[in-house]
Amino acid sequence: MTSKKPDRRGPRTRQLLRDALINAIMEKGYDGVTVQDITDRANLGRATFYLHYKDKEELLLGSLRDMFDDLKGRFGKPTSESPLGMDQPVRVVPFQHAFQYRDLYRATLLSQQGTAAILNGIRDYLAMSIRERIEAVASDEQASIPIEMVAHFLAGAMLSLISWWLDKDTPYTAEQMADMFRELAVPTLSHVLGVSTLSGTKA
């Protein structure tokens, strides 16, 4: 009995489908895109599409999940020196990531059609990651505002800045954007959590 060799075409096929979806969204808006549009652009059959995804939403959410798993992996785990990731070069990571994946970000953040559920999913994912970092240095008992609310506030603020930055064709570097976000975020975190966001000690 012989074992099957791994299908090395799978990752390449999924990449082709993801790229085709992004291009279609940029041209037609998410609601206007069909599976046929995606497979035509990827030069693949519909049967191939359904081997990997049940519909276009699963393709998009899978692409976003992969993208944000990559983002989360770049942060690494919180440390006592940088519990909230506000030091350089950690804080520049989201903006570098947005620039690298700018086509996917633009397709989801700047598209005017059918994006509400997608944006909610992105914000929730970011908020979950931010909450994990906050909980490394503070608890709800220590915070003057529930940590979940703080995490969603920061996730929304970051997405808003990234959307503006991409819409304006990145007039600032990722490093400059990170520094400006820090100036906006650190005072809020320090006040609400009662800790230094740089050292994790009580303020």
Each residue's pLDDT tens digit, 38-54: 999 999 999 999 999 99
More confident residue, 154 or 66: 154
Query: Which band of pLDDT confidence, cut at 50, 70 and 90, is reported for residue 7?
Result: very low
Buried b (16+ CB within 10 A) or exposed e, 65-81: eebbeebbeebeebeee
Decide if pLDDT at 203 tops 80: no
Quick one: pLDDT at residue 146?
A: 92
Quick one: pLDDT at residue 118?
A: 67
Domains along the chain with CATH numbers: 56-193 (1.10.357)
Percent of the chain with pLDDT over 90: 30
Query: Which band of pLDDT confidence, cut at 50, 70 and 90, is reported for residue 141?
Result: confident
Nearest-10 Cα torsion for 140, 145, 148, 149:
180
More confident residue, 198 or 27: 27
CA distance 115 to 31: 8
Output phi, psi for 202, to 5 deg.
-65, 135
CA distance 76 to 105: 22
Quick one: pLDDT at residue 4?
A: 41
Each residue's pLDDT tens digit, 98-127: 888 888 788 777 765 555 666 777 788 788
